[in-house]
């Protein structure tokens, strides 16, 4: 009789015929497939995702778990924390320290400070390239982009630009760093292979937060740029090397806004990781507005918390910076006057949580540690 012989419980033998053999192979194949699926799920869940929040009016950072929307830890002892970013493997946390003019390096697992990298001047925001190089915007005349070697953790070079810098970002393909000055209105592009200025253009108003839309091949298509005194954003065509238009946001929030906030009424913007939507905060609307890409059609709006002060009308929470979970399903917004972060469901266009953090939260970022 053709078949396979199995030993059951270490003693009794059973013989399976051809039909039974087919069933056994099918079952074994199903078990193997299920095992592979389990391993895949385990691998995906092995990544740690955290949202880091810098508290510009305090001396620490808050760390939020997006799975629970709760603060799970703090990073202490950073007076004047400005920007936050991470090494590509998620094992290091980088914080630009305005008080000490340093790039502070922390171990992600322990939260302990491991090194302070001296910079060429007082820093603002920071970004990280795929090869690990850290770029730091220097907010001190004459203006420069400091490039930090990730292995030595030392300043490698300072690329001089026209005016003190406010922010810097690395393009999705890591070929360029982009940056802007609020003083000179200059938008500058640095070639990261050559570590020198590639091109620049004057946008007419102070350059504030920016975000990047990529082409299908990962190259840079458009930069969406927030500008001083504009409740909206400009559109820079990367290939044409010029600003090709502006978009204005609604100002119907019905909230009181302190006068000096009008210098930068829109100060938070981000393209979701899936490159399908653009999200922009407005202090005047006290909301975040969502646009579809590439057509820039409004697809939703979510109101943000109001600040309640006795004897005054409701005030704007002063929504600022944004960051996303890697799957693009949640966006986090720092509310600088409300001392909180809003967690929002990007699919349902609804608020999931308002998370209390430190004093005057602003720059935020998403860490993925493997």
Question: Of 261, 236, 262, 257, nearest to 247 (Cα)?
Answer: 236
| Rounded Cα distance, 19 and 29, in Å | 15
DSSP state of 262: G
| Rounded Cα distance, 29 and 121, in Å | 62
Inter-residue contact 223 to 293 (CB < 8 Å): no
| Rounded Cα distance, 139 and 167, in Å | 9
Q: What is the pTM for the complete model shown?
A: 0.87
| Rounded Cα distance, 69 and 357, in Å | 11
Tokens standing for residue 271: 């393209």
DSSP state of 305: P
**What b/e sequence results for 236-260 when a residue is b if at least 16 CB atoms lie within 10 Å of its CB, and e otherwise?**
bebeeeebeeebebebebebebeee
| Rounded Cα distance, 208 and 347, in Å | 27
Question: Of 315, 319, 289, nearest to 304 (Cα)?
Answer: 319
Per-residue pLDDT of the chain (370 residues; tens, 9 = 90+): 344 343 333 433 444 444 444 444 444 444 444 443 333 333 334 589 999 999 999 999 999 999 999 999 999 989 889 999 999 999 999 999 999 999 999 999 999 999 999 999 999 999 999 999 999 999 999 999 999 999 999 999 999 999 999 999 999 999 999 999 999 999 999 999 999 999 999 999 999 999 999 999 999 999 999 999 999 999 999 999 999 999 999 888 778 777 667 788 999 999 999 999 999 999 999 999 999 999 999 999 999 999 888 888 888 899 999 999 999 999 999 999 999 999 999 999 999 999 999 999 999 999 999 8
Question: Of 334, 230, 324, 209, nearest to 284 (Cα)?
Answer: 230
| Rounded Cα distance, 116 and 358, in Å | 23
């Amino acid at each position: 009789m053709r078949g396979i012989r199995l030993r059951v419980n270490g003693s009794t033998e059973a013989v399976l015929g051809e039909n039974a053999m087919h069933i056994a192979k099918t079952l074994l194949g199903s078990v193997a497939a299920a095992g592979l699926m389990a391993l895949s799920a385990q691998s995906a869940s092995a990544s740690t995702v955290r949202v880091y929040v810098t508290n510009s009016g305090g001396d620490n950072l808050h760390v939020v778990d997006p799975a629970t929307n709760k603060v799970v830890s703090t990073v202490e002892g950073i007076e004047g924390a400005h920007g936050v970013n991470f090494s590509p493997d998620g094992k290091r946390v980088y914080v630009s320290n305005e008080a000490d003019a340093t790039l502070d390096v922390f171990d992600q697992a322990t939260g302990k400070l491991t090194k302070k990298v001296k910079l060429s001047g007082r820093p603002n925001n920071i970004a990280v390239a795929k090869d690990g190089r850290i770029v730091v915007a220097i907010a001190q005349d004459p203006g420069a982009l400091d490039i930090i070697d990730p292995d030595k953790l030392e300043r490698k070079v300072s690329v001089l630009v026209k005016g003190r810098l406010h922010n810097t970002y690395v393009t999705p393909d890591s070929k360029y760093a982009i940056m802007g000055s609020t003083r000179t209105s200059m938008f500058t592009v640095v070639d990261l292979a050559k570590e020198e200025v590639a091109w620049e253009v004057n946008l007419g108003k102070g350059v504030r937060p920016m975000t990047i839309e990529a082409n299908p091949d990962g190259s840079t298509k458009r930069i969406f740029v927030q500008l001083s005194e504009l409740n909206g954003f400009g559109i820079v065509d990367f290939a044409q090397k010029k600003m090709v238009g502006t978009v204005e946001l609604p100002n119907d929030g019905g909230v009181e806004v302190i006068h000096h906030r009008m210098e930068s009424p829109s100060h938070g913007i981000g393209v979701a990781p899936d490159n399908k939507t653009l999200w922009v905060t407005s202090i005047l609307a006290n909301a975040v507005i969502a646009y579809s890409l590439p057509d820039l059609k409004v697809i939703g709006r979510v109101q943000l918390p109001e600040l309640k002060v006795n004897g005054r009308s409701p005030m704007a929470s002063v929504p600022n910076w944004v960051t996303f979970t890697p799957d693009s399903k949640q966006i986090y917004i720092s509310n600088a006057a409300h001392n909180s972060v809003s967690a929002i469901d990007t699919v349902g266009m609804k608020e999931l949580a308002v998370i209390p953090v430190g004093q005057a939260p602003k720059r935020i970022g998403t860490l993925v540690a493997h």
